[in-house]
Amino acid sequence: MNLALERESVTLKSTAGRLFVDGVFECYTLEDPVREVPGEPVETWKIPGETAIPAGAYEVVIAYSPKHRRAMPLLLNVPGFVGIEIHSGNTAVDTKGCILLGTYRESADVIRSSRAAFDVLYPKIANAITVGEKVLLVITGVGRDTNGSQKA
């Protein structure tokens, strides 16, 4: 299964995007602001609990989450980050680097119907893994140029 997160815009509070499953639009996403400076080590631009993960490709597994007290989609091998999950939430306050899902975008910094979006995506990921399919998430889109300025 191929997941694609296309980041679309960054504000001072969050990063908005869209998630696709095997090329088909699935839902909206919300993350912490992108602060990544390509080519620079994560520790030079990361603000713990307030920074989106680096763009790239990540394997997704299902693993028990102590925070959510249930099995959740977990991204593996995220440089400089640990415990990055895909879960429900409405604003960047609800994430510490994780990816939030919503069925619609209320504003640049708010998504809604997050549990509904999660409840549709989670079984797709879990079923793919159960039948032995690898789940890969590729994150692209909005970033920063080498001067640290935001770019599309």
**pTM as predicted:** 0.90
Is residue 44's pLDDT more than 60? yes
In the chain, the amino acid numbered 132 is G
DSSP 8-state code for residue 33: P
Judge whether residue 28 has pLDDT over 70.
yes
Residue 98 pLDDT > 50 = yes
Distance between CA atoms of 14 and 72, rounded to whole angstroms? Answer: 22
Predicted confidence band of residue 68 (pLDDT cuts 50, 70, 90): confident
| pLDDT tens digit sequence for 87-97 | 999 999 999 99
* Among 6, 89, 94, 112, CA closest to 50: 94
Q: How confident is the model at residue 141 (pLDDT cuts 50, 70, 90)?
A: confident
Three-state DSSP state, 30: strand
